[in-house]
Amino acid sequence: MNFKQSLDHKIFSTIGKVSDGMGERSFVIGGFVRDLMLKRPCKDIDVVTEGSGIKLAKAVAKELGIKQVTVFKNFGTAMIVCGEYEVEFVGARKESYSRGSRKPIVEDGTLEDDQNRRDFTINAMAIALSSVNFGELVDPFEGVKDLDLGLIRTPLDPDITFSDDPLRMLRAIRFASQLDFTIVKDSKDAITRNAERLDIISMERIHTELNKIIMSDRPSIGFKLLFSTKLLDRFFPEMSALYGVENRNGVTHKDNFYHTLQVLENVCEKSDDLWLRWAAIMHDIAKPPTKRFHPKQGWTFHGHEDRGARMVPKIFQRLKLPMDAKMKFVQKLVLLHLRPIALTKEVVTDSAIRRLLYEAGDDIDSLMILCRADITSKNESKVLRYLKNYDIVIEKIAEVEENDHIRNFQPPVSGEMIMNTFGIPPSRPIGEIKKAIKEAILDGDIKNDSDEAFDLMVKLGEGMGLKRV
């Protein structure tokens, strides 16, 4: 199999020419080769040479007139940018590992050594760049066959592969999720056997792979694999706890693990926002600790939205996810995710809509995507009824917002204005007046208007015995 015609960019022929001049063999290897065969776009090129990757990078840059070469001396790699491509150069190497670390002992090696250390057969394929066999595929582990069959397997013994570098277990699941491939049985079994080895991996690396799974078209594939191999238990036990149903007196509840995955898939159809997808994952995270059985009511999960919102920062902190506005966004959606559905069960009042708009602010549209995604009943008529009710709520939101401008509003009367009007220092009446004005606006008793708010402020103040100065 020859890929000469596919390597028509000058970067490939230049690397081959320079390598020949240095008397060394060079190859493009890994993800670029895999994606070339899958016809997926890929702008990251990994080049392995049976020599010094840094020297080759500098020589290629000089040949192409590229001034900047980024050198990572500790890793023996270098990177250049050539047009739309980022090209990383590394010398072929062989690796050995100690039990307590995923940092290998590295020695110079051959292409064969380098392919042996690769994580999966589909990532171990190389294409020659030397002039004598330019474009020729080097595929010692039948990666092409595994691509055709949609399989993830390790080149060598999977127990050794995963124990040496446990991050590869997450990568296996990530590729299965992104490509909709199957992890072969011996590799999947090895992941389960080595699950505890994941404990030596930093949370930053774990959440990087997890976020890639979440951003795949079908993240449920990845989460089911994470659960079945026991990896999920190692870093996200709260999600594993969602699994299962309980039967009492003939009454069961739905499996909240699979419900959560369905909600996530539904969100994915509407949005590629990573943090909205995280909100889908977390929306019912507190159902296990809030689960109760009542003889008349059956199973309940009262307050799971409030408790779930309080769990979000702790989980984000443990996973080393950002503790900034992104976390606050997820927390807000978890807290509010039941509010819109409550509105569908009753006559939708302007007051209720104003309060929802006030609390959700600019995140109201994301909240409605999550809430619609949360309808996972197998009863089609029930689903259609809820969706129709949501349409009414959304129309009402647009109408109220246009009339009242409530989203992210701040009451038009400030504390300073109250103090100046009545000549009082900072004190409790100021907060009480501001709260009363906010409630009056949300209830529709007055408009979100500075004149009406000022008149109410004066009335409230005088009712408290305050006098204008």
Residue 100 pLDDT: 58
Residue 99 pLDDT: 58
Residues ≥6 apart with Cβ < 8 Å to 355? 442
Asked whether the predicted pLDDT for residue 97 surpasses 70, the reply is no
What is d(CA 323, CA 310) in angstroms, rounded to the nearest whole number? 13
What is d(CA 303, CA 69) in angstroms, rounded to the nearest whole number? 56
How far is C-alpha 264 from the chain's CA centre? 11
Q: What is the pLDDT of residues 315-374, one digit of tens each?
A: 999 999 999 999 999 999 999 999 887 777 666 778 888 888 888 988 999 999 999 999
12 contacts 20 by C-beta, under 8 angstroms:
no
Residue 393 pLDDT: 84
Residue 319 burial (10 A CB sphere; 0-12, 13-18, 19+)? middle
Percent with pLDDT over 90 in the chain: 72
Residue 1 pLDDT: 72
Q: What is the pLDDT of residues 366-403, one digit of tens each?
A: 999 999 999 887 778 878 887 888 888 888 888 888 77
3-class state of residue 319 by DSSP:
coil
What is d(CA 259, CA 80) in angstroms, rounded to the nearest whole number? 46
Residues ≥6 apart with Cβ < 8 Å to 112? 140
Domain boundaries in the chain? 4-149, 150-235, 415-463
Say which range, 65-69, 213-217, 415-419, 438-442, has the weakest mean pLDDT: 438-442
Asked whether the predicted pLDDT for residue 78 surpasses 90, the reply is yes
Structure tokens at 459: 């009335």
How many Å is the maximal CA-CA distance in the chain? 97
Q: Rounded to two decimals, what is the model's pTM? A: 0.86
Percent with pLDDT over 70 in the chain: 96
Q: How many angstroms separate the Cα of 469 from the Cα of each of 100, 308, 422, 462, 466?
A: 74, 48, 6, 12, 9
Asked whether the predicted pLDDT for residue 103 surpasses 60, the reply is yes
| Residues constituting the chain | 469
What is d(CA 318, CA 333) in angstroms, rounded to the nearest whole number? 20
What is d(CA 303, CA 288) in angstroms, rounded to the nearest whole number? 11
Closest CA to 211 of 268, 309, 277, 284: 277
Residue 101 pLDDT: 57
Asked whether the predicted pLDDT for residue 98 surpasses 60, the reply is no
Q: How confident is the model at residue 408 (pLDDT cuts 50, 70, 90)?
A: low
Asked whether the predicted pLDDT for residue 189 surpasses 80, the reply is yes
Residue 284 pLDDT: 97
Asked whether the predicted pLDDT for residue 188 surpasses 90, the reply is yes
3-class state of residue 299 by DSSP:
strand
CA angle 35, 37, 42 (to 5 degrees): 25
Structure tokens at 111: 């292409």
Asked whether the predicted pLDDT for residue 119 surpasses 60, the reply is yes
Sign of CA dihedral 8, 11, 14, 18: negative
Residue 102 pLDDT: 53
Residue 404 pLDDT: 73
Say which range, 79-83, 168-172, 264-268, 404-408, has the weakest mean pLDDT: 404-408
User: What angle separates helix 325-336 from helix 364-373, to the nearest 10 degrees?
Assistant: 50
16 contacts 4 by C-beta, under 8 angstroms:
no
Closest CA to 372 of 384, 380, 363, 359: 384
161 contacts 171 by C-beta, under 8 angstroms:
no
Residue 382 pLDDT: 78
266 contacts 376 by C-beta, under 8 angstroms:
yes
What is d(CA 204, CA 321) in angstroms, rounded to the nearest whole number? 8
**What is the residue-averaged pLDDT of the chain?**
91
How far is C-alpha 422 from the chain's CA centre? 52
3-class state of residue 469 by DSSP:
coil
Closest CA to 93 of 148, 61, 53, 127: 53
Q: What is the pLDDT of residues 198-240, one digit of tens each?
A: 999 999 999 999 999 999 999 999 999 999 999 999 999 999 9
Q: How confident is the model at residue 45 (pLDDT cuts 50, 70, 90)?
A: very high
Query: CATH number of the domain at 4-149, please?
Result: 3.30.460.10
Residue 343 pLDDT: 77
- Per CATH, 4-149 and 150-235 having the same topology is answered no
Closest CA to 120 of 199, 227, 34, 197: 34
Asked whether the predicted pLDDT for residue 264 surpasses 90, the reply is yes
Residue 287 pLDDT: 97
Asked whether the predicted pLDDT for residue 405 surpasses 80, the reply is no
Residue 296 pLDDT: 85
Query: CATH number of the domain at 150-235, please?
Result: 1.10.110.30
Other Cβ atoms within 10 Å of 7 Cβ, number: 21
More confident residue, 404 or 67: 67
7 contacts 134 by C-beta, under 8 angstroms:
yes
